[in-house]
Amino acid sequence: MDALPQIKPSMMARFKDSHFWHSFKRDRVAQFCFGIFSLALLLAIFAPLIAPFDPYDSAQIDIMNSELPPSWEAEGDAQFWLGTDAQGRDLWSTILYGTRVSLTIGICAVMLQAFLGIIIGLAAGYIGGRVDSLLMRIADVQLSFSTMMVAIIVLAVFQAAFGTELYQQLAMVMLILVIGIAEWPQYARTIRASVLAEKEKEYVDAARVMGFGTARIMFRHILPNTLSPILVISTVQIANAIIAEASLSFLGLGMPVSQPSLGSLISSGFEYIFSGAWWITVIPGLVLVALVLVMNLLGDWLRDVLNPKLYKG
């Protein structure tokens, strides 16, 4: 037995040597997008530390400061560099908190989608037969209702049945549930497709010959091999969930004005846009567009990197 030098590459070393890292180093767009996304994530996480004001604290809000333009405009106040909204809240602080709310809803809703979609997709793909037909027909039915329609009906009925007060308390949970449940078929279908490809491979037969149970094979052997498509759709789905939340908020079915997300901020500024207070709508709008755009670009890049057919030729 010839003794090769024993190498025990660390996770970091493995990562630095991977195709993933090399392609990231080459791709300016990916670097830029990742930078912006990380910045947004950091700002959102540390919003309470960064924001000069607390937009949830009504004691800090002075109605006399309402609709002040950004500080670079003639009537601007140096205290509020992006201006204030109609209620006198500092727009910069509100955007930070709003990004936090939007990202939380986006990420949690996608986690819920992924949880449902992974379990259903794995079961449909691996067990096959009638289970597969049943689950995929349910997915088809779910997909034939547009997400917005389901969300609007559920949220409107909830608001009407339990009152606006309770709704405002539970708005975030409700949005996560509705967006999460409405979009699981995206995951289920993608995962089912890759499970169908994976389960024909001999390592699955080897696991079956070992006598491993169905759940063990599904979650420990097949699932890790379907992670790349999951990662790709997750980035796109977070962006979609943020958009869905913003649209619902814009329609008045999303986050309450007291805890605005980017969408409800845009919506609240909309009434004032013709009275000249463009910044309440435009600035959060730009933040939203930037956030969604970088996530979609990152998703595109991920898909290119993780699709072995594109680079192994």
Nearer to another protein by Cβ, of 118 and 176: the residue is 118
**Per CB under 8 A, which region of 42-50, 51-59, 180-188, 200-208 contacts another protein?**
200-208
Give the footprint of another protein on residues 35-54 (CB under 8 A): none
In the bound state with another protein, the residue whose beta carbon lies nearer, of 44 and 195, is 195
Label residue 2 left, alpha or beta by phi (over 0 means left) and psi (-120 to 50 means alpha).
Answer: beta
Which CB sits closer to another protein, 8 or 28?
A: 8
Cβ distance 102 to 94 under 8 Å?
no
Angle at 171 between CA 165 and CA 173, to 5 degrees: 130
| Single residue of 15, 203, 270, 311 touching another protein by CB under 8 A | 203
CB 108 within 8 A of CB 180: yes
Q: Are 70 and 78 in contact, with CB atoms under 8 Å apart?
A: no
Helix, strand, coil percentages in the chain from 3-state DSSP, rounded to 5: 75, 0, 25
196 binds another protein (CB under 8 A): no
Which residue in the block uniquely carries the two structure tokens 């008045």? Answer: 252
For residue 294, the Cα-to-chain-centroid distance in whole angstroms is 12
**Residue 90 φ/ψ, nearest 5 degrees:** -65, 125
Number of residues lying near another protein (CB under 8 A): 22
Question: Which residue from 170, 210, 215, 286 is in contact with another protein, where contact means CB under 8 A?
Answer: 210
Least distance from another protein to the Cβ atom of residue 110, Å: 22
Choices 34-42, 44-52, 219-227, 249-257 (CB under 8 A): range interacting with another protein: 219-227
Q: Which is nearer to another protein, 2 or 57 (CB)?
A: 2
Q: How far is the CB of 186 from another protein (least distance, A)?
A: 23
Q: Which is nearer to another protein, 222 or 246 (CB)?
A: 222
- Residue number, 2 or 165, with CB nearest to another protein: 2
Calculate the alpha carbon distances from 123 to 19, 128, 170, 193, 199 in Å.
31, 7, 32, 12, 12
Instruction: State yes or no: residue 28 binds another protein (CB under 8 A).
Output: no
Give residues 226-255 in contact with another protein (rule: CB under 8 A): none
Toward another protein, which CB reaches closer, 3 or 49?
3
CB 77 within 8 A of CB 65: yes
Query: Is position 201 an interface residue for another protein (rule: CB under 8 A)?
Result: yes
Secondary structure letter of residue 221 according to DSSP:
I
Chain residues in the site for another protein (CB under 8 A): 1, 3-4, 6, 8, 133, 201-203, 205-213, 220-221, 224-225
